[in-house]
A = this chain, B = another copy of it.
Amino acid sequence: MAKWDSCDRSPAFIEPHWMQIQFSDQKKEFNKLPTKTARRSLSRSISQSSTDSFSSVGSESSEDVSSPKDRIQKNSKGLSDFCIKNIKQADFGRREIEIALQEMPALMVLRKRAGDEKPLAGAKVVGCTHITAQTAVLIETLCVLGAQCRWAACNIFSTQNAVAAALAEGGVSVFAWRGESEDDFWWCIDQCVGAKNWQPNMILDDGGDLTHWIYKKYPSVFKRIKGIVEESVTGVHRLYQLSKAGKLCVPAINVNDSVTKQKFDNLYCCKESLLDGLKRTTDIMFGGKQVVVCGYGEVGKGCCTAVKALGAIVYVTEVDPICALQACMDGFRVIKLSDVIRNVDMVITCTGNKNVVRREHLDRTKNGCIICNMGHSNSEIDLVSLQTAELRWERVRPHVDHVVWPDGRRIVLLAKGRLLNLSCSTVPSCVLSITATTQALALIELHNAPQGRYKQDVYLLPKKMDEYVAGLHLATFDGHLTELTDDQAKYLGISKQGPFKPTYYRY
């Protein structure tokens, strides 16, 4: 995938393991993965924080000195084909899942609608995602729809142990705990893929580590694989590279770029999480503040709308004339950063580009100017240029650094230039629900597609299923669709059940 989508970015963005491995070769430095830890904030939610309080009560830290790998646990049905922290936490995890379930009604509707058909009957899904209450709802939905599942964590820090316990108690073969070592990480994946008597025919991946492992160690498994469903920007990027190189040997569905998911990940989620992240870190009042937003893609549009709505005066920088003209028509001055940097109270980057905010800008800000990044990459703010002897760094709060110039002027740097909304706010259940539902439907599509529909290539989710995901979430908002009459459908030349728009429609 080209880097064109510079203005957009998935909250699920994360450097994949294989890249780490390729780049750092033998020196696998798992402890230094900044995006990996940043990703953890994704799972901060009601259930997560409850887990935390539980953890302290259950004194997890003290008792579990031994590795889960060294212990055999059994669930109440006597099964032991899993490896987790502590099966006793299952009840607590179940409560977490039940709460999350109430926030993901679309999956509930899917269970009801498709439950009888068992559209995933015969599917053997190997998965590698965060293991949280929300993904547990997804995994158990797949089971209700007929699938068998084996699951590992895509992140060594993000697993909710109680949730993993509940999954194991419910019969899912899950291999994951919080605080895995790197060896543990790959061991867990291996337990999922290399099980005796069980061979996967579908892959659900988030980041591409699982896919990578199979390519490396079990290439023959691909013979039985009907397809891969990949969510993350990087995982998708890797699949396109494989495809270009002619090495992709099964169909893959890129769920990251489905319309519904994109709108929620970028426009709607960022619009709200920007405010959240800024309030939590700086307690700033937006009214009357002058703000410059770099980039007017989906993320930039969301950010501009949000801060303008709260009374800020917003300037936009852009490199693309079409986006720039949109910014004008939407009521924002389009300027160069250097022309307003002296006057603004805040700089927000949303470009996906690198070194958008540079030392030459930061040398001229107002005292107390807030600098933060909502964009795709961690490189939008040129941090290296700030790591010089004459500048003093002060950590004043978690995620908040003051960088102080010799004359006492300071900037307020948030999350060290990493993604503000991943570091300093949470991802709403509604956004996670969109993603999970999209993943479930992509699996159903691949599992049921007639021979030949999908080749060894990367596909977008079919428009009709994209529409179906949206439709499932309408109920959450008490939204009611109008149905086309036969006459109208004929007039428009489309089916009454959709798809309603051509693939290139811009929404």
A residues at B contact (CB < 8 Å)? 2-6, 44-46, 49-50, 102-103, 259-260, 262-264, 268-269, 271-272, 275-276, 279-280, 282-290, 298, 306, 308-313, 317-337, 339, 343, 352-356, 367-368, 396-397, 400, 425-426, 428-431, 466-468, 470-471, 473-474, 476-485, 487-488, 491-494, 498, 500-507
Cross-interface CB contact of A321 among B320, B470, B485, B493, cutoff 8 Å? B470
Closest to A5 in B: B505
A283 partner residues in chain B, CB cutoff 8 A:
44-46, 426, 428-429
Closest to A478 in B: B343
Known contacts A288-B328, A331-B311; A467/B4 CB under 8 A: no
B355–A479 contact, CB under 8 A?
no
Question: For the complex, what is the distance from the CA of A426 to the CA of B281, rounded to whole Å?
Answer: 11
Question: For the complex, what is the distance from the CA of A327 to the CA of B474, rounded to whole Å?
Answer: 10
A355–B271 contact, CB under 8 A?
no
A487–B287 contact, CB under 8 A?
no
Question: For the complex, what is the distance from the CA of A319 to the CA of B102, rounded to whole Å?
Answer: 27
Known contacts A4-B505, A494-B3; A334/B285 CB under 8 A: no
A290–B478 contact, CB under 8 A?
yes
| 22 A-B pairs (CB sep. < 8 Å) | A3-B494, A6-B500, A260-B325, A263-B326, A268-B287, A276-B280, A283-B428, A288-B329, A288-B476, A288-B479, A290-B478, A320-B500, A321-B468, A321-B471, A322-B466, A325-B470, A328-B477, A334-B474, A334-B477, A352-B492, A353-B491, A506-B507
Question: For the complex, what is the distance from the CA of A352 to the CA of B500, rounded to whole Å?
Answer: 12
A487 partner residues in chain B, CB cutoff 8 A:
354-355
B310–A306 contact, CB under 8 A?
yes
A467–B288 contact, CB under 8 A?
no
CB A315 to nearest CB in B, in angstroms, measures 10
Known contacts A353-B488, A474-B325; A481/B275 CB under 8 A: no
Copies in the assembly, this chain: 4
Among A298, A324, A466, residue most surrounded by chain B Cβ atoms (within 10 Å):
A324
A322 partner residues in chain B, CB cutoff 8 A:
259-260, 466-467, 470, 500-501, 507
Cross-interface CB contact of A368 among B102, B311, B331, B492, cutoff 8 Å? B102
A312 partner residues in chain B, CB cutoff 8 A:
331
B482–A336 contact, CB under 8 A?
yes
Question: For the complex, what is the distance from the CA of A89 to the CA of B480, rounded to whole Å?
Answer: 51
Question: For the complex, what is the distance from the CA of A313 to the CA of B334, rounded to whole Å?
Answer: 11
CB A267 to nearest CB in B, in angstroms, measures 8
Question: For the complex, what is the distance from the CA of A298 to the CA of B470, rounded to whole Å?
Answer: 18
A478 partner residues in chain B, CB cutoff 8 A:
290, 333, 343
B324–A470 contact, CB under 8 A?
yes
A482 partner residues in chain B, CB cutoff 8 A:
317-319, 336-337
Question: For the complex, what is the distance from the CA of A363 to the CA of B306, rounded to whole Å?
Answer: 34
B328–A397 contact, CB under 8 A?
no
Closest to A327 in B: B479
Cross-interface CB contact of A498 among B50, B320, B425, cutoff 8 Å? B320
Cross-interface CB contact of A354 among B353, B367, B488, B500, cutoff 8 Å? B488
Question: For the complex, what is the distance from the CA of A103 to the CA of B481, rounded to whole Å?
Answer: 33
B477–A397 contact, CB under 8 A?
no
Question: For the complex, what is the distance from the CA of A46 to the CA of B282, rounded to whole Å?
Answer: 7
Question: For the complex, what is the distance from the CA of A123 to the CA of B90, rounded to whole Å?
Answer: 67
Known: A6-B500, A336-B481, A355-B485. 5 other contacts (CB 8 A): A279-B425, A285-B428, A285-B430, A333-B479, A343-B478
B325–A479 contact, CB under 8 A?
yes
Cross-interface CB contact of A507 among B50, B289, B326, B335, cutoff 8 Å? B326
Lowest 4 CB-CB distances: which A-B pairs, in order? A309-B309, A321-B471, A334-B479, A288-B328
CB A376 to nearest CB in B, in angstroms, measures 11
A288–B500 contact, CB under 8 A?
no
Closest to A53 in B: B397
CB A458 to nearest CB in B, in angstroms, measures 14
B279–A320 contact, CB under 8 A?
no
CB A491 to nearest CB in B, in angstroms, measures 5
CB A375 to nearest CB in B, in angstroms, measures 12
A484–B319 contact, CB under 8 A?
yes
Known contacts A324-B470, A500-B4; A481/B334 CB under 8 A: yes
Question: For the complex, what is the distance from the CA of A202 to the CA of B94, rounded to whole Å?
Answer: 62
Question: For the complex, what is the distance from the CA of A261 to the CA of B504, rounded to whole Å?
Answer: 16
Known contacts A50-B396, A308-B331, A311-B330; A320/B467 CB under 8 A: yes
A50 partner residues in chain B, CB cutoff 8 A:
396-397
A485 partner residues in chain B, CB cutoff 8 A:
355
Cross-interface CB contact of A504 among B102, B280, B336, B504, cutoff 8 Å? B504
